[in-house]
């Protein structure tokens, strides 16, 4: 339940107070955001309408790209508006909503990465039973469970956040509302609540990372029994997944598995996993995946041809 607060709005200090640097920040992150939207929507559209990308791996990639779009949108548009605004004010309710959305889609991304690792494990280690184990019914149930788990995680974060009383100051030294900056402003001893936050976000992040690393070690170990062509194809796919896992979980672990202290690099680390990773994911999954590139070329060449003939 929400505590009685004298603070009804917060001021986001953003990444910099220098006017020239703010213009540079706006231009850079506008490019990143447009690139994120274009890249991820291309993947979403290609998987949706391409008959050759009907396997469970691309089913999960569809939801990873969707989570990337929403995850980035939870912070970047607000950042772009604030960079051009004299007063970077966000209401208490908007701040709480941003925390909810940020953790909902961030957690969803974690769970989808786990499902993609499970899919690769079954495909490589149990190929004869792949279609039985990873049936469409199973894939749909797994995605539903991922959504439910993400929602429960985000609701738990909000319940804990609503217990924080704010009586001033109201300046958040960040470009978005998140747990660590809000803990710093709370008018109470936040040690116990931070332990609950860490046991929630930190445990999910750390446990998921360990599970993913172990699963990929098992997968790579099992490849010794495959043909050279099979190893090459499996390594290409798994390498893409491992790169995404490291890029996403490294910054997350830094942010959510520590005491309630702030460091000068916090904002840049947050930029990397809220803006950088959603931008890089489409590049990683398309540049290293010939099947996606071929399907994308075929789909859009058909689209352009039909538009010309129409």
Mind listing the domains of the chain with CATH numbers?
9-309 (1.20.1070.10)
| Torsion of Cα atoms, 38 then 43 then 49 then 51, to 10° | 160
The DSSP call for residue 163 is T
Q: Predicted confidence band at 305 (pLDDT cuts at 50, 70, 90)?
A: low
Strand arrangement, sheet containing 171-172? 89-91, 9-12, 171-172
The mean pLDDT value for 260-284 works out to: 81
pLDDT: is 143 or 5 the higher one?
Answer: 143
Sign of CA dihedral 183, 5, 75, 205: positive
The C-alpha atoms of residue 220 and residue 227 are separated, in whole angstroms, by 13
Q: Is the pLDDT of residue 195 over 60?
A: yes
How much is the pLDDT for 239?
A: 79
Q: Predicted confidence band at 197 (pLDDT cuts at 50, 70, 90)?
A: confident
């Amino acid at each position: 339940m929400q505590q009685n607060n004298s603070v009804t709005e917060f001021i986001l200090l953003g990444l910099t107070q220098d006017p020239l640097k703010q213009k540079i920040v706006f231009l850079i992150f506008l490019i990143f955001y447009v690139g994120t939207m274009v890249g991820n929507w291309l993947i979403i559209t290609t998987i949706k309408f391409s008959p050759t990308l009907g396997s469970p791996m691309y089913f999960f990639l569809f939801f990873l790209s969707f989570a990337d779009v929403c995850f980035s949108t939870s912070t970047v548009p607000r950042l772009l508006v604030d960079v051009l605004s004299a007063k970077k004010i966000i209401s208490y309710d908007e701040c709480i909503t941003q925390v909810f959305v940020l953790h909902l889609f961030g957690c969803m991304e974690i769970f989808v990465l786990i499902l993609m690792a499970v899919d690769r494990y079954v495909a490589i280690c149990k190929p004869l039973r792949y279609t039985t184990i990873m049936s469409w019914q199973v894939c749909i149930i797994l995605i539903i469970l991922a959504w439910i788990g993400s929602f429960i995680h985000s609701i738990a974060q909000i319940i804990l956040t609503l217990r924080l009383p704010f009586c001033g100051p109201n300046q958040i030294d960040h470009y978005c509302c998140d747990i660590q900056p809000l803990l710093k402003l709370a008018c109470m001893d936040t040690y116990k609540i931070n332990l609950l936050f860490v046991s929630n976000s930190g445990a999910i992040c750390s446990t998921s990372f360990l599970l993913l690393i172990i699963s990929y070690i098992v997968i790579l170990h099992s490849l010794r029994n495959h043909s050279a062509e099979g190893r090459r194809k499996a390594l290409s796919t798994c390498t893409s997944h491992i790169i995404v896992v490291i890029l996403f979980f490294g910054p997350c672990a830094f942010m959510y598995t520590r005491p309630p202290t702030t460091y000068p690099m916090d904002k840049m680390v947050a930029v990397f996993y809220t803006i950088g990773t959603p931008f890089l994911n489409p590049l990683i999954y398309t540049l290293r995946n010939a099947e996606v590139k071929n399907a994308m070329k075929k789909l859009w060449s058909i689209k352009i041809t039909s538009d010309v003939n129409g």
